[in-house]
Structure 1
Amino acid sequence: MRLDKLAKTVDKGCGAIFGISNVFYFTGYSGAGVLVYCDGVFTLLVPALEENRALDTKGVEVKVYYPAKIRGDIQYSSVMEALEKIVGNNPLSVDVSYMDVNTYIRLSNKFQIRDISQQVSSLRAVKDPDELENIKVAGEITSIAMKMAMERATEKVSEKQLSGFIDYTMKNEGAEDYAFPSIVASGENSAEPHHIPTNRVIREGDSVVVDIGAKFNGYCFDSTRTLLVKSYSEELRKVYEVVLEAQLEAIDAVTEGIKASEIDRIARKVIERSGFGKYFIHSTGHGVGIDVHESPYVSFNSNDVLKENMVITVEPGIYIKGKFGVRIEDTLIVTKGKPVVLETTYKLL
């Protein structure tokens, strides 16, 4: 049980888990709140407007805070007051990465703080069967939207229109939300990795980067395809083939026990030897789960080592300002052998 794992992580003293995704991981509750562990008891602190949603949470005592005494059973005016009363003089273990600076400073002035962010991210990085199933379903929904995008990209639609079609399709197919705002970037806009869709109409010769992901039962998916509209240049074809080679070589190396930084090195080496090294301006990948970007991190300076049932992306890219960009991304499950690639649709070319 995840709450038991948290209790072992806290070990001595008390613990407070901040961040919607962290609290959801340990409890299944997805609203605003703080999970507190002290003296063997788990308390879920929620604002009054979230009380009804929180009451069904198993394994915890739900307590409500509100700045005004609107009911006699509301014990706390704020999270800070609740922590002071529950934790007392005990040391407090917290995941520092999921709290803002102001909260950290206030807690540091009240308690002896122990950072357990590394332990929590390690727990979340290795997925259990239910998590893997939710990610797979999110991938199936994303796949339907991606195939639709491939078909409609040739209809002289704008980036905004195509992203709207994508979002509608994901929701219509069962997504509860989008893992992130859908990216549709065409022509020279595709050289911006995190481009915000505009009214630019897709036309012949374009490179169209489509980066999308559905969210299902609290879990994300992440997929990117670069669509090449007919009459594209030989230069664009070459860049696409380099990115695809880099991605396939990196994916082929993914297995339990390999350093995440080595996956980045493999992809980067392919692009560098092709003369495009300076145009690969982001890391090769990241973990995917409740958050679309979470541990492990597949970058040149990552200290993470891949483990079975981690879920990561592999997404090299080349971006030439004023011309075009190409990115190809798959989400995959790490195994003891070759990874399971959660394919959204076949590669182009």
Structure 2
Amino acid sequence: MRLPPTFYPALHDRVRIALDRAGLDALLLDDPLDVAYLTGFAHFPNERPVAAWVPRDGEVLLLVPDLEREYALDQRAAARLVVYPEFPGERGPFTVLADAVAGAVRRVGHAPSTSTGRVAALAAAFPGVEPVTSDLVGRLRLRKTPEEITLHTEAARIADAMLAEGARLVAAATGPDDLPTETELAGHVTRFGTAMMYAEHDDVVVVPMLTGGLVYGGANSAQPHRLPTADRLRRGEPFMLSLGCAVGGRFVESERTFLLGEPTAEQRRYYQVVREAQETGTEALRPGVRCVDANRTCLDVIRRAGLARFLRHRQGHGIGLGFHEPPWVADGDETVLEPGMVLSSEPGLYVPGHAGYRISDTVLVTAAGPRRLTGYPRDLDDIVIGA
């Protein structure tokens, strides 16, 4: 459930090489996912800054408030802790960090997501330093190491089991009043996934969303990111389980649309078109293919079927320490796919007043082509319940 201790020194060496190439003396990152990536310290972000400092020469530092100190030690953070007493404090957190930094620094990189206020605090704490916006670590995060892929693969197994458990619960209902509500079903699969994780693993890495996802039925599922409601599932209608989990802080998503009862001709058509688009789009996730081209290949299946009016989003996105992160398998992203990238492949149709139809798998790009990490069945017969 955790990356091996050798992961972080090797990562820090790669960051230092990139710093040298970029002409930067150090990198200061305060995005919680970047901090977790660089040090293994996962935390709940708030107004108190937590930041990783990676110099071109010297040791990696982790700036934390005193109330997070023991937690960082418990997580075996791969950095020397620099602790400040409280925020805002008589001396700002970045001033405390500056006191701990050895050697002179002139150019310090920060992520594009760092707020202007924190960039200003950085400049004030390090007089004469030039803050430079850099996506250096973001680019490193695009390609997963074998150790990370092991965690993604285990997360995929658990996410698939959550889907199967959700389908089992619905299939076990004997009458209309026995069918779960969206919130009941969401709570059930979330508890199931978490219990499975703790039952089968020691030293679980806890992140803000360990297991969970979205559940919606009927017309509600035509709104792609709608939160679960108290509405009860109904026979004759589709319902969607959009689930995922994180193992060692590495996410996957596994999503299926289920048909509750014998499918109508309309339901069959919508599902089969999405099924073909997802198959075609997944096959396009190969090294050397641009994200924009994979997206077009996928969504053209839906357009050729005459259903373009029901498209609401791209084919997919990158997955890593977050559910949604670059690259974007979408129009406008010309990123060239490379081995080690982990992506969602999730085309969907959303018919207002009727339902949504989406199939999503987490896919690893390999030298030999795409490899699905999630594998819950996708054929029509596999997703019909109670026909």
TM normalised by structure 1 equals 0.91
| Aligned match of 2:196 | 173
- Among candidates 236, 242, 247, match of residue 211 of structure 1: 242
- For residues 224 and 314 of structure 1, the distance between their equivalents in structure 2, rounded to whole angstroms, comes to 10
Q: What residue is the counterpart of 1:9 in the other structure?
A: 18
* Mapped contact 1:227–1:348 kept (Cα < 8 A): no
- 1:146-295 equivalences under 5 Å are 146-154=163-171, 155=173, 156-174=179-197, 176=206, 178=209, 181-295=212-326
Aligned residues: 342
Identify the residue that residue 28 of structure 1 maps to in structure 2. 40
Q: Secondary structure at the match of 2:144?
A: coil
TM-score using structure 2 length: 0.82
Structure 1 stretch 104-113 or stretch 294-303: which is displaced more?
Answer: 104-113
Q: Give 3-state SS (helix, strand or coil) of 2:366's partner.
A: coil
Separation in 2 of the partners of 1:147 and 1:204?
A: 19
Alignment of 1:33-112 (within 5 A): 33-38=50-55, 39-55=57-73, 57=76, 60-67=79-86, 77-85=91-99, 90-97=106-113, 99-107=114-122, 111-112=129-130
**2:59 maps to amino acid:** V
1:18 matched to 2:33: no
Distance 1:41 1:81 in 2: 18
Displacement of 1:295 after TM fit? Answer: 2.0
247 and 59 in structure 1: CA distance in 2 versus 1, 3 angstrom threshold: closer
Q: Structure 2: which amino acid aligns with 1:16?
A: L
CA contact (8 A) 1:204 1:231 kept: no
SS in 2 for 1:213: strand
RMSD: 2.3
- What amino acid is the match of 1:160? T
Structure 1 residue 184: deviation in Å?
Answer: 0.6
Partners of 1:147 and 1:132 in 2: CA distance: 23
Paired with 1:199 and 1:124, the residues of 2 have a C-alpha distance of 38
Structure 2 spans left out of the alignment, 5+ residues: 1-9, 174-178, 199-205, 381-387
The worse-fitting range, judged by mean Cα deviation, of 245-254 and 23-32 is: 23-32
Query: How far apart, CA to CA, are the structure 1 residues paired with 2:258 and 2:78?
Result: 48
Moved more, 295-304 or 231-240: 231-240
Secondary structure in structure 2 of the residue aligned to 1:199: coil
Q: Is the 8 A contact 1:163 1:183 kept in 2?
A: yes
Cα shift readout 1:147-172 (whole Å, capped 9, x = no counterpart): 01112224211101100111011101
- Which digits, 9 at most, give the CA deviation of each residue in 1:291-328, with x for residues without a partner? 11122211111121111111111000010111111010
The alignment partner of 2:197 has SS state of coil
What secondary structure sits across from 1:146 in the alignment? helix
What residue ranges of structure 1 are gaps of 5+ in the alignment? 71-75
Whole-Å separation in 2 of the counterparts to 1:125 and 1:102: 27
**Cα deviation, residue 287, structure 1:** 1.0
TM-superposed CA distance for 1:68, in Å, is 8.0
SS at match of 1:257: coil
Aligned to 2:158: 141
CA contact (8 A) 1:36 1:43 kept: yes
